[in-house]
Structure formats: structure tokens, C-alpha cells
Amino acid sequence: MFGRLATLRRGPCVLRHGRFYATAPAPPSTSSTVAKTSPRSTKTPPSFFNGPRDMHAFPSANAFENESPRDIRAYTNDSTASIDKNGSSSSDSQQNEAFHGDGGMIGPEDLTKSFKGISAEPFPEKVSEILMAPIKSEDVELKPDGLLYLPEIKYRRILNKAFGPGGWGIVPRGPHTISQKTISREYALFCLGRFVSQARGEQDFFGDDNIATASEGCKSNALMRCCKDLGIASELWDPVYIKDFKKQYAAFVQGTHVTTSVKRWVWRRKDRTLDYPFKEEVPSGSLKK
């Protein structure tokens, strides 16, 4: 009896003619063997997973321009799209042509890395005259700390006048870099299909709710810096021009912060008043009796 129980415990048994007989374990099925031994899928993810992404500011933003039609087809499960032997998709061909261009001036260049046309030849003389024309003194703005600047819309108007609307563009060169209070990003300026300049724009922000607005300010700052290589408003980087402008058009006055009541010396244009949050203090000797 105990032997029978031992046999029963050692393996599967069958009852034949009043006796228990041990049986060999059944071989595993082919399907289970394949399921256990089949290697995991080694499909490589599309290249946009490794491309530049704005993980902090825009978690869902991907560098879709680096994605091939075959990768798009494999990961979207689009049954209506068809891929030919060259890897092009019928449903994506129009989108790729619209983004990369088909025989245009830019061509199938990856603008996030391309330096196409850099220093190939100077722009026409008429364009150069528009770009390097002296700026008007009434267009120059003055910050309270004495920094001279040209509004960003002025740069865009000069570019549109020189190259025409659509003849220039600014392209991001990587993801946003975000610190506790500052956001920055590399941008490249292309004019008439040629690489012109590259610069990093930066912008301060206060609170996560202002990141989207700060990212636009970061782009505007990069555009202003890229325009230096085209000669636009180059006077603003000349120390001699800055000193002459302040001497002729600016005044250094004492202002009071309207919320903190802190007094400090600030700059303003002679033909304008102080902007919020400062209010100019009138000297006591000039008060009318």
C-alpha cells in the first residue's frame, strides 16, 4: 500500500487490474514549447523615440520629421496604408512631400541638423541693403536697467521685407532645456533655403503655468540673436552707439515701485514716461507752488 502511494507521489499513475502503474510524463505540447522558447520581439522602436523631445515643456512632442514611413506603418497599424518595396507609404507620401519638400529649395534635408548653403554666396545687393539699413531711433526701446532692444516684430518685418513672407523660417535644433526659472532652446535661421545662423534663445518664467508662454519668448529671443549675423539692428550691439543713444534720447530718473514702495534709479526715454510697475519721483525743487 505504501509502495503504491510512493509510486503515486513520484509521478502520474494509472489503475490497471487493481494495481497502480507509474506512467512517464507526457511531453510538452509544441505550442507551449514555442511559447516558452520563442524569443521576445526584437522590433526596434521608431527613430523618433530617440530623437529630440520636449519631455518637460511638451511631453507628447516628438521629432516626427525623423520618422520613416515604414516605422509609421508598423506602429500605427494603419490597414489602409500600403508600403512599397522602397519603404514609402501611399498615405504618408503627401505629408512627407509637404514637410521635406519635393525638389524644392530645401529638399529632403533634416533641418534639425542641416547646414545646407552656409556661406555659399552673399545675398543679392538689394536684400543686403534692407538687412543692414540703419534702424530708426523711434523704434528702439529702453528697459529700466538701460538695455536697448528692438521689438521682435520689427525683426520679422525686416525679414519679410528682405526675403518675402515664407522666404525665411526658424527651426528648432533640439529639445527645451528647463531649469528652475529659465527655459532655453537652440534655433537655426534659414533664409531662401540656406542656413544663416544658429543661436540659443532663453526666457525666464515663474510657475509651471507660464512654461508655454516662456517657450514662445525663448523662440523670439533666438530669432533676435540669429539676426545679428544678417546685420539687422547691429547698432544695438555697438557700445559707441549705445552711449550716444542714451546721451541723446534717454534719461536716468528715480522711480518708485508701486507695490513694494522701493525707490531705485531707472532708465527711460526722454519722450516717454516710466512704465508699470515704476512711478517716477518728481524732484522737490521742480514742484509748482
DSSP string, 118-172: TTSSPPPHHHHHHHTPPPPGGG-EE-TTS-EE--HHHHHHHHHHHH-TTSEEEEE
Q: For residues 276 and 247, which has the higher predicted lDDT (pLDDT)?
A: 247
- For residue 80, being part of any structural domain is answered with no
pLDDT at site 231: 93
Instruction: Encode pLDDT of 142-193 as tens digits.
Output: 998 889 999 999 999 999 999 999 999 999 998 999 888 899 999 999 999 8
- Judged against a pLDDT cut of 60, whether residue 88 lies above it is answered with no
- 223 and 255 in a single domain? The answer is no
Q: For residues 68 and 244, which has the higher predicted lDDT (pLDDT)?
A: 244
pLDDT at site 117: 82
Find the domain containing 252 and state its range: 242-286
Q: Which three cell numbers stand for residue 225?
A: 540673436
Over residues 40-44, the mean pLDDT reads: 50
- For residue 71, being part of any structural domain is answered with no
- The band of 93, judged by pLDDT with boundaries at 50, 70 and 90, is low
- 161 and 260 in a single domain? The answer is no
- The band of 114, judged by pLDDT with boundaries at 50, 70 and 90, is confident
- Judged against a pLDDT cut of 90, whether residue 283 lies above it is answered with no
Is residue 247 within 8 Å of 270, Cβ to Cβ? no
Over residues 10-20, the mean pLDDT reads: 56
- For residue 205, being part of any structural domain is answered with yes
- 172 and 208 in a single domain? The answer is yes
- Judged against a pLDDT cut of 80, whether residue 128 lies above it is answered with yes
- 140 and 202 in a single domain? The answer is yes
- For residue 149, being part of any structural domain is answered with yes
- Judged against a pLDDT cut of 50, whether residue 61 lies above it is answered with no
Q: For residues 85 and 135, which has the higher predicted lDDT (pLDDT)?
A: 135
pLDDT at site 226: 94
Those residues whose C-beta lies under 8 Å from the C-beta of residue 65, and which sit 6 or more positions away, are 99, 100, 110, 111, 112
- Residue 166, amino acid: G
Name the average pLDDT for the chain.
Answer: 73
- Judged against a pLDDT cut of 70, whether residue 222 lies above it is answered with yes
- The band of 26, judged by pLDDT with boundaries at 50, 70 and 90, is low
Number of domains in the chain: 3
- 158 and 191 in a single domain? The answer is yes
- For residue 84, being part of any structural domain is answered with no
Q: For residues 20 and 122, which has the higher predicted lDDT (pLDDT)?
A: 122
Q: For residues 77 and 157, which has the higher predicted lDDT (pLDDT)?
A: 157
Q: Could you say which of 190, 214, 233 is where a domain stops?
A: 233
- For residue 41, being part of any structural domain is answered with no
